[in-house]
Each structure stands twice: as structure tokens, then as C-alpha cells.
């Protein structure tokens, strides 16, 4: 069965998180994936994985996260205790997900766009070392979760955090973000073309002092 692009991106992001850390608990696995998507929206004004994230107790979590983790295990991309994962009734962080020996490549990131993998690394460095209570507090301060809780969603379980009223793309349309969108579109269209130019463009778009490539004087 062919995997679609959005599923592949979710796989790339989640497996990259595991590889960057070597080992991560299920709770942090979900939260770091969510925080990457959240900061991607804030930086680029669009979705990357397109995952909507369910608000369960101690959510948001990847939709059907147990099945998703199981599929990664079956593809030999990660290693974990599948039996414990499936039987666990309470959502805790004591089930470890580790890099799979067969595919292990420490520090390897499956995302090809440097500006995207760079953001993922920043999220991991900034948040992976926090305790579960500290991380949960930060996640609950993000705009989508706050909107989810403040709007018409009052139930403790179910519902998608990044759907509908959870977050609106128009709130993230600024000149800087539109410039970053242009860069992402460029490197997606020409992923293997002129890495020196890509590196120069990445630096320009990072500080956003110029929205036009240096070689374009028109």
C-alpha cells in the first residue's frame, strides 16, 4: 500500500525525533511531534505533517497514536514494547521508544529541507529535556490548545486540536511568513539543485531582512 505524502511527513518527523534522542517516552514522543507542527505553523503559516492531534486526557496526541507507533515498529523504523503499548490503559511516559538497530543512524534526520530539519532540531533541543509536568504546562499554553479549551470544545476527551477553531492560518500570514513560504516552495520544487544557493537563501530568509534572493536585482 502506497503511503501518501502527509503520512510520510508524519513518519519522517516522528522517526527523526526518536533518532535525535536515541530514546523517548510515548508522552514526549506525542508532545514533541505536536510542538514541531505548532512551531512550523507559526514560522511558515501552513501545515507540515497535516496531523490534527486529538485532545485526549494529557493530550494533544497523534491520532490513533498506538496504531501509528505500531506501524513504525513493524516497518523496523523504531523499537518499543508493543505488548505493553497496546495493553496500557493509562497514558504515561514509561513506555520507551528507541531507535531501531536495523535502521539506526544517530543524529540522522529524515527531512531533506534543511530549514525544516533545523526547526525540528530546535524543538527537540529546547523541549525534550523537560519533565512531563513542565512539558504539559508549555503545551497547554500554546494557542491551539487554549482555543480548543476556550471555544465550544468543553469535553475532556476527543476532538481535534488543530482542526476548525483550534487554529486559523490567516492568523499567521505576515510578510516574514509569506517570505518563508516562498523559500519552502523553492526548495520543494528544486530539492537537488544548487545547494550553495539554497544555503544562501536560507540565511536570507532566516533573518527576513530581505525577501528577494541576492542574485535577483530586478
Co-location of 9 and 92 in the same domain:
yes
Average pLDDT per 10 consecutive residues for the chain, totaling 218 residues: 71 94 92 95 89 87 93 92 79 75 73 84 93 92 86 67 76 78 77 69 59 42
Co-location of 147 and 179 in the same domain:
no
Q: pLDDT at position 116, please?
A: 87
The tens digit of pLDDT for each residue in 66-89 reads 999 999 999 989 999 888 888 866
Under a CB-based contact definition with an 8 Å cutoff, are residues 28 and 36 in contact? no
Q: What is the pTM of this model?
A: 0.82
* Domain assignment of residue 134, yes or no: yes
CA 31 to each of CA 38, 61, 126: distance values in angstroms, whole numbers, following the listed order: 10, 7, 12
Co-location of 130 and 154 in the same domain:
yes
Domain that holds residue 97: 5-167
Co-location of 13 and 107 in the same domain:
yes
Helices 195-207, 175-189: axis angle to 10 degrees equals 170
Total domain count, the chain: 2
Amino acid at each position: 500500500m502506497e503511503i501518501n505524502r502527509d503520512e510520510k511527513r508524519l513518519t519522517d518527523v516522528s522517526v527523526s525525533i526518536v533518532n535525535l534522542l536515541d530514546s523517548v517516552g510515548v508522552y514526549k514522543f506525542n508532545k514533541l511531534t505536536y510542538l514541531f507542527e505548532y512551531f512550523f505553523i507559526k514560522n511558515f503559516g501552513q501545515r507540515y505533517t497535516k496531523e490534527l492531534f486529538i485532545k485526549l486526557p494529557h493530550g494533544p496526541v497523534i491520532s490513533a497514536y498506538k496504531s501509528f507507533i505500531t506501524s513504525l515498529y513493524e516497518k523496523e523504523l523504531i523499537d518499543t514494547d508493543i505488548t505493553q503499548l497496546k495493553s496500557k490503559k493509562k497514558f504515561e511516559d514509561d513506555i520507551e521508544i528507541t531507535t531501531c538497530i536495523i535502521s539506526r543512524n544517530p543524529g540522522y534526520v529524515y527531512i531533506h529541507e534543511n530549514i525544516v530539519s533545523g526547526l525540528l532540531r530546535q524543538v527537540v533541543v529546547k523541549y525534550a529535556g523537560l519533565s512531563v509536568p513542565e512539558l504539559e504546562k508549555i503545551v497547554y499554553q500554546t494557542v491551539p490548545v487554549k482555543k480548543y479549551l476556550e471555544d465550544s470544545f468543553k469535553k475532556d476527551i476527543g476532538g481535534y486540536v488543530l482542526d476548525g477553531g483550534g487554529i486559523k492560518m490567516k492568523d499567521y500570514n505576515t510578510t516574514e511568513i509569506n517570505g518563508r513560504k516562498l523559500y519552502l516552495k523553492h526548495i520543494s520544487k528544486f530539492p537537488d539543485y544548487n545547494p550553495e544557493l539554497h544555503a544562501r537563501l536560507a540565511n536570507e530568509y532566516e533573518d527576513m531582512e530581505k525577501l528577494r534572493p541576492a542574485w535577483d536585482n530586478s
